[in-house]
Structure 1
Amino acid sequence: MKIDAIVFDLDGTLLNDKKEISRENRVALEELRQAGIKIILATGRNDVYVKGIVAELGGIEAIISCNGASIRRSYTDEIIYSQFLDKASVLEIANHCFTGKFDFTASVYGAMYCVEYSRRVNIFHEYNQQMPKAYRVPVKVMQSAQELAQQDVLKMFIWQMAGREQSVFLEAFHAAAITVVSSENGGMDVSHAETSKGKAIAIFAERYNIPLHRIAAFGDYNNDISMFETVGYSVAMGNASDKVKTHATYVTKTNNEAGVAWGIKEYLE
C-alpha cells in the first residue's frame, strides 16, 4: 500500500507506560523517514510539552497539539494553524472550576497555567527535572478566572472530576462553543467546538497536498477516534478500549510491546 504520512498519538501509543520510546519504535520511525514518509505527532499535550520528544527523535514533520487546536511545522517552528477557545467560554469555565475547587490546567503557546492547589501540575515538574532547560515547560499559577481569560487558550484540562460533577459541567456548558473529549482516564479536555485531531490532519493534508486516503494514524484513546474517521488507514493500540478499536482498520500490540513498530511492519508495509 502507498502511504505518504503516518500520524502518531503519544501517550499510550508511541510512548510506553514509562513515557519512553522503545528501541523498536525508534528504528521503525527511522525506517519511515528513510522511505520518505512524513511523520506527524498528534497529541492532547500542549506543544511546549512535546518539543523535548521532537528534539530527541528528530525528523518530525509537524506537531498537532492540544487535540488539534494547534499545528506547528517542526522544521521551521512555524505555526500553521491555531484554534483558540473564545474568551467568554474560558471565563465561564474557569469560574466554574475555581468555585468548585476543581484541579484544572490551561494550555497556551509556550506555557501551562495551573491553579495554586493543583496536584496535576506535578507531572510537569517531574518532566522538567528530566529535561534540559531549553525543553522545560514553563508553569504559571493563575489566581483568578479573569487572569486566564486574558490569554489565548488552546485547551483546558479538568482532572479527576467525579462522574456527577462531570454531568453537571456538561449540562451547564452544553450550549457553549466547546467540544469535550477524553485523552486519558479521569480527565476532560475542553477545546473550541471546531477542534479535533481529525480536522487538524485534514488541514495539514490540504496545505501540503497529501491525499487523506494515503495517510495512516495510530492511537489509543477517545480523542483519537476523529483521526481514524479522517485517514485512509487507522491502527488502534492493543491497550485501546473496545470503543476505539471498533473505529480502527487494524489493531496492533500494546504500547508496552512496541505496538507501533509491530503495526507498521504487519499492516502498512
Structure 2
Amino acid sequence: MKKDIKLIAFDIDGTLINSKGEVLDETKALIKKLKEMGIKIILCTGRTFNGHWWIREGLDLMNDDDLSIVSTGAFIRQNSTGRALVNKSLAKDDVAFIFDQIDDPRLQMSIHTRDIIFINEDEPNEAFLKDKGLVRMPRLKYDSLDDIPDEIARVCLSASPEILKDFEDKHRADIEKRFKYMRNAPFISEILNPKAGKSEALRDLADISGIGLDNMMYFGDGLNDLKSVGLVGVGVAMGNGAEPTRKAADYVIGTNDEPSIADFIRKYLDINE
C-alpha cells in the first residue's frame, strides 16, 4: 500500500546530482511540480551549509520554510537566512582533543564551519583539495581555536586510505567514546557530535514540521544514508549506492546519471505531466 507522502528528502552527492555535479533537468522540473503540489522538499547532505548554496538556489528552495539538513545532521538550517533550527555542533575543546590524537604529520585535519573551512597547512593534500573543490568553499588558516566561529559543524581528516586506516587502528576506539566517526570516502573521514546524524536530524525535522516519519520519502546512496532509508515511510536507494544502503531500502532505482529519481516519484505519486 502506498504511503501518503508529504515530505521528500534528498541526499546530494551520488543522489541528487550526477557524476558531473549537476542536477538533471528532469529532476529540477519534478521538484518544481512537487512544490506546487504542496510537498515539502528537504536537502539532506554531509556538506556544510554553504557547501551547496548553488544547488538550493538553482532549485528555488530559498523560501523561509525551506530547510536543509547539513553537516551529516549536525544542523538543520533555514535556507533563506542560514539560521540554525537544530544545532549539534562540536565544542572547541572537542577539536583540541581530536588534534591531540593525530600522531602522523601526513594526516591533515580541517575544521568545517557554516561558511569556511579552516586548515593550518601550507600545502593541503590532494584529498582535502578534492573535497574543497566539490563544496566550493573558501579555506583559511588560524592562529588558535579562538579565531574560529563557535558553531563547528565537523572535523575532517584527510590522507591516503592506508594512513587513515593506521589512524583508525590506533585511535578510533577512543574517539568513538566521545564522538561519531565515519569514513565518507577512501581519503576522507569525519568526526561529529555524537548526537548528530542524518536519521537523527530526520526525527528532529518531524518534530519541527509536524510531518510524521511515515509520511516521508528519502533518497540516498551512501553509508551515512543507511539508517535514513530504513527510518522513513519510503526509503529509496540509488543503483550506484553502497550495498548495505541498497539492502536497507524499500526500493532501489537507477543511477544518479539517469532520470531515475523523477521517474520513480512520478510513478509512485501518480503524477502525469
After the TM superposition, which of the residue ranges 213-222 and 29-38 deviates more from structure 2? 29-38
Query: What's the offset of the Cα at 1:239?
Result: 0.3
After the TM superposition, which of the residue ranges 91-100 and 151-160 deviates more from structure 2? 91-100
Q: 8 Å contact 1:182–1:223 — kept in the other structure?
A: no
The two structures have a TM-score, normalised by structure 2, of 0.86
Question: How has the CA–CA distance of structure 1 residues 79 and 174 changed in structure 2, closer, same or farther, with 3 Å as cutoff?
Answer: closer
2:138 matched to which residue of 1?
A: 138
1:210 matched to which residue of 2?
A: 211
2:154 matched to which residue of 1?
A: 155
1:70 to 72, 75, 86: 75
Aligned-CA RMSD value: 2.3
| Distance of 2:173 and 2:13 partners within structure 1 | 29
After the TM superposition, which of the residue ranges 228-237 and 184-193 deviates more from structure 2? 184-193
After the TM superposition, which of the residue ranges 158-167 and 246-255 deviates more from structure 2? 158-167
1:45 matched to which residue of 2?
A: 47
Deviation per CA, 1:203-236: give whole Å up to 9, x if none.
1111121111000100000111121232111000
Asked if 1:79 corresponds to 2:84, the answer is yes
Q: 8 Å contact 2:142–2:148 — kept in the other structure?
A: no
Partner SS, residue 6 of structure 1? strand
Q: 8 Å contact 1:238–1:259 — kept in the other structure?
A: no
Asked if 1:115 corresponds to 2:120, the answer is yes
| Distance of 1:127 and 1:242 partners within structure 2 | 24
Partner SS, residue 219 of structure 2? strand
Q: 8 Å contact 1:88–1:149 — kept in the other structure?
A: no
- Identity of matched residues, %: 25
Partner SS, residue 234 of structure 1? strand
1:132 matched to which residue of 2?
A: none
Deviation per CA, 1:125-181: give whole Å up to 9, x if none.
6468xxxxxxx623212456x5678743211122234223322231332322x1112
| Distance of 2:37 and 2:188 partners within structure 1 | 37
The two structures have a TM-score, normalised by structure 1, of 0.87
2:20 matched to which residue of 1?
A: 18
Partner SS, residue 210 of structure 2? coil
Matched letter for residue 155 of structure 1 = R
* Over 6 Å off, 4+ runs: none
Asked if 1:95 corresponds to 2:95, the answer is no
After the TM superposition, which of the residue ranges 158-167 and 43-52 deviates more from structure 2? 158-167
Alignment coverage as a number of residue pairs = 260
Asked if 1:250 corresponds to 2:257, the answer is no
Query: What's the offset of the Cα at 1:28?
Result: 1.6
| Distance of 2:182 and 2:147 partners within structure 1 | 21
Q: 8 Å contact 1:182–1:221 — kept in the other structure?
A: no
1:171 matched to which residue of 2?
A: 173
5+ unaligned residues in a row in structure 2: which ranges?
A: none
Q: 8 Å contact 2:113–2:149 — kept in the other structure?
A: no
Q: 8 Å contact 2:70–2:76 — kept in the other structure?
A: yes
Matched letter for residue 193 of structure 1 = P
Asked if 1:222 corresponds to 2:245, the answer is no
| Distance of 1:183 and 1:266 partners within structure 2 | 31
